[in-house]
Amino acid sequence: MVIAYEVGNGLYVNITNRCTNSCSFCVRSVADGTYGELWLEREPTVDEIVDSVVRADPTRYSEMVFCGYGEPTVRFYDVIEASIRIKQSYPDVKIRINTNGHANLIYGKDVTPLMRGVIDTVSISLNTANARDYVKVCAPEFGLEAYEGLLDFASKAKEHVPAVLFSVVRESIPDEDIEICRGIAERCGVVLKVRDMIK
Ligand code: SF4
């Protein structure tokens, strides 16, 4: 079972296959087995997550990233517990969560204060410039509410986490929508990162 794995200078951590979206471009739907080794036969415990990170020696990496095959914040409390334990042993290790920004919708309350002093960066996939397109592309469990929910999550996370980003994929969105996303990011007080598609 692959829990911690290297991507460039980062140590990526895979804790679930589950997600509250079904994005059309999701690597989980790549049928050729390219990412098959990341499919978890069961979800690792917090002890297993911490052990896997310790074995990989997080000090060798520029940051560790909860990313994974699925959406890490479906296990938000486990992410926080594992991160607290890792920071206790390695206070200089930077921790990022790559997320769809649904955590507050999943838990029905504002969980962002739990990230204070624990999580250094939150990168939220914005994907589209409006709620209707988001539903078309990401098919969220929360329907139209998902988009506003992730914007609100970003604004609240900004109060507790040093770096909060929105990300969009250049090839998957019209240029004019990228400018709209830039405006949305500004209003939420976060940075927009335009990245290239993972091939
Ligand atoms: S949010 Fe991420 S994990 Fe979830 S379906 Fe979309 S791409 Fe896949």
The β-bridge partners of 98 are 123
What gap in Å lies between CA 10 and CA 13, rounded to an integer? 10
Please tell me the total count of domains within the chain. Answer: 1
Closest ligand 1 atom to Cα of 138? 6
How far from the centroid of its chain's Cα atoms is residue 177's Cα? 22
**Entry pTM:** 0.95
Give the nearest ligand 1 atom to 25 CA.
7
State if residue 71 touches ligand 1 by the CB under 6 angstroms criterion.
yes
- From ligand 1's centre to the CA of 24, what distance in Å? 9
How buried is 67 (Cβ within 10 angstroms: 0-12 exposed, 13-18 middle, 19+ buried)?
buried
Residue closest via CA to ligand 1's atom 7 equals 26
At position 33, the amino acid (one-letter code) is G
pLDDT band with cut points at 50, 70 and 90 for residue 4: very high
In the predicted model, is pLDDT for residue 59 greater than 90? yes
Band (161; pLDDT cuts 50, 70, 90): very high
> Ligand 1 pocket, 127 CB below 6 A?
no
* CATH number of residue 13's parent domain: 3.20.20.70
pLDDT of res. 13: 97
Which range marks the domain in which residue 75 is found? 4-195
Cβ of 70 less than 6 Å from ligand 1: yes
Give nearest CA residue, ligand 1 atom 3: 70
